[in-house]
Amino acid sequence: MEITFRQAREDDFEFLWNLHKATMKSYVDEIWGWNEEFQKEYFNNRFGPINIELIIYENARIGAIEIRDRENELFVANFEILPQFQNKGIGSTILKRIINNSGNKQKFLKLQVLKVNPAKRLYKRFGFKIVGKTETHFIMERSVA
């Protein structure tokens, strides 16, 4: 499976917004209700391509991942794959790479996932444990060592 990455750019905004809507709208709607205007403004205000890598499969943009290297952890701030490419092993392949490439940093790999998002099962399969929770999210981590 040939998966590559490239740094996101300003002109990827529309793709990333549409990716976010395709992957997160149903979950956000279930919890808070989806307000298109509010969501687009919130997305626009937080948009910063410098930390985002696009996931490329068969020469097409199919997702994005954002990992923040913090003092004691690598925080997966965002990990979205278009629905038509989910459940094909792509997310697993990417998680394996992240875990393998981060082992020398001696940090925890950490993320948060909406409680209603079935992606939490994928993270559990890769050794992530729930270490905290909010009203809407599970906070999960795994050692990379």
Q: Please give the domain boundaries of the chain with CATH numbers for all domains.
A: 3-143 (3.40.630.30)
Residue with tokens 């391509």: 49
According to the model, what pLDDT value does residue 72 have? 83
- Which pLDDT does position 100 carry in this prediction? 83
What pLDDT, on the 0 to 100 scale, is given for residue 103? 65
Contact predicate 109/102, CB 8 Å: yes
Q: Which residues of the chain have pLDDT under 50?
A: none
- pLDDT (tens digit per residue) in 75-91: 999 999 999 999 999 99
DSSP 66-110: EEEE-SSEEEEEEEEE-GGGTTSSHHHHHHHHHHHHHGGG--EEE
pLDDT of residue 105: 66
Q: Give the whole-angstrom CA distance, residue 42 versus residue 34.
A: 12
Q: What is the pTM of this model?
A: 0.91
pLDDT given for residue 93 in this prediction: 93
**pLDDT in the model for residue 17:** 97
pLDDT at residue 145, as a whole number: 63
